[in-house]
Chains A and B, each alone.
Chain A
Amino acid sequence: MNWLFRYANPHNFMRLSNVLLPITVVATVLCLGVGLYLGFTAPPDYQQGRTVLIMFIHVPAVTVAELAYGAIVVCSLLSIVWRHPLSDIAGRAAAPLGAMFTVLGMITGALWGRPMWGTFWAWDPRLTSFLLLLFLYIGYMALWNAIEDEVRAARAAAMLALVGAVNIPIIKFSVEWWSSLHQGESIVSGKLAPVFLAPLLIMMLGYALLFASLWMLRIRTVILERRARSLMQRSAA
């Protein structure tokens, strides 16, 4: 745990991220570029045709959307157990990114659904779960913004995230159950041809790096904002 605490200090985080950020940004651009190139030059899928290309931007988005909630949960746990200020900032910074990736996943899912299902939206269990996940993100962010006292807001939001974490598997299960009850449509999932696997993995990595870069950037912004605010408070006193 010690190594974590060393970098969990805002000052050290600023130094570390200053070095890391350029590296992750370059790696992100590389991965996304190569992944997209490989994806778009791959032969069309025999079942889905060219629409399979949407998969390269859809699947990584929904994966990162879920990972981002996991990141918030870990931060919340650290915040509640060790009361570390950086984990509060990190949790808060991850939420809008998670929400953004969730929306991206839903939009690309809808674009893919149009040729596949004939409608933009189907109450498919996965899409439905993601819609609920989006609301969890929105609630988390709204709670953060509603409470003025930052210490209190951080702990309240952390607790909400943990309650959400307990509930997410139940929500997923209940949505699956609901879907089987109403015999909703399910995503046509054929076996993935190996020619698509490499670009997909590269795209996943690219998305993960994109998330990491944006996350670091947001954490840095929040730290700088706090410094600016405390400077202003000092000059007012």
Chain B
Amino acid sequence: MISSLTAERLACARGDRKLFENLSFRVRAGQALAVEGANGSGKTSLLRLIAGFLPPAAGRLIVQDASGDSDDADERGKKIGWLGHHDGLKPQLTVQEQLTFWAALYRGTVNTGALAQVGLARQADLPCRYLSAGQKRRLALARLLMSNRPLWLLDEPFAALDTAGQALMAQLMALHCGQGGIIIAATHDPLGLGNESLKL
């Protein structure tokens, strides 16, 4: 578990262009942070920066947990559950195959309940090319649950989901926070978690 994630005067640049600078925030266990802003304002870049894919141009990111403070990007990466813009699914592989693969890669256990939880139990043996965009998003959500990571980074979590899917997403996010997890989500929609928001 993580007790908090702190950003200190973060700056991010792509080539010569500055996306943001002097960005500071703190998210504690059980809290969610919505990152808002126009297209191109750097929402996704902030998530990629937290994930450690992108080095900050300036500033620090500190994860505080039982073992103390750390600003090591690799260590932080091992605590992150990622729901990116793309779903990371192969059209040739079946729903069950994908889930088994990711479970083994993340050294997780294949939780048979995960598929039922996102409403894909019936599609388990179907190759992903036959799934709708919303169903793929649900499968990505099942993978996120299975990864069992405390810090969720979500890029447009509600995109491609129907009303029921969005409700499910909100419910699972509330559950994650309720269990002491942290959520940082780049979004246009309200998260509905009584969360703080950050405007880029």
* Interfacial residues, chain A to chain B (CB-CB below 8 A): 149-151, 230, 233
Contacts and interface: CB of A to CB of B under 8 A. Distances in A.
B15 interface: yes
Contacts of A149: 14-15
7 nearest A-B pairs in the assembled complex, by CB-CB distance: A151-B15, A150-B15, A230-B16, A149-B15, A149-B14, A151-B14, A233-B16
Contacts of A150: 15
A149 B16 CA distance: 10
Tell me whether chain A's interface is mostly helix, strand or loop, or mixed.
helix
Nearest to A229: B16
Chain B binding site: helix, strand, loop or mixed by DSSP? loop
Nearest to A150: B15
B40 to A, nearest CB: 12
A174 B14 CA distance: 42
Nearest to A83: B55
A54 B15 CA distance: 46
Contacts of B16: 230, 233
Contacts of A230: 16
A160 to B, nearest CB: 20
Nearest to B13: A151
Interface of B: 14-16
Nearest to A152: B15
A197 to B, nearest CB: 50
B41 to A, nearest CB: 14
A82 to B, nearest CB: 14
A233 B16 CA distance: 10
A150 B14 CA distance: 10
A117 to B, nearest CB: 50
7 contacts: A149-B14, A149-B15, A150-B15, A151-B14, A151-B15, A230-B16, A233-B16
B47 to A, nearest CB: 19
Contacts of B14: 149, 151
A127 B57 CA distance: 46
Nearest to B55: A83
A184 B122 CA distance: 69
A144 to B, nearest CB: 15
Contacts of A233: 16
Nearest to B16: A230
Contacts of B15: 149-151
A233 B18 CA distance: 13
A34 B194 CA distance: 82
A151 B15 CA distance: 6
Contacts of A151: 14-15
A39 B52 CA distance: 61
A151 B14 CA distance: 8
A149 B15 CA distance: 7
A230 B15 CA distance: 11
A233 B14 CA distance: 14
A149 B14 CA distance: 9
A78 to B, nearest CB: 18
Nearest to A148: B15
A151 B57 CA distance: 13
A101 B16 CA distance: 33
A230 B18 CA distance: 13
A151 B16 CA distance: 9
B98 to A, nearest CB: 29
A142 to B, nearest CB: 21
A140 B14 CA distance: 23
A78 B14 CA distance: 20
A232 B35 CA distance: 31
B39 to A, nearest CB: 15
A224 to B, nearest CB: 15
A231 to B, nearest CB: 12
B15 to A, nearest CB: 5
Nearest to A226: B16
Nearest to A230: B16
B17 to A, nearest CB: 8
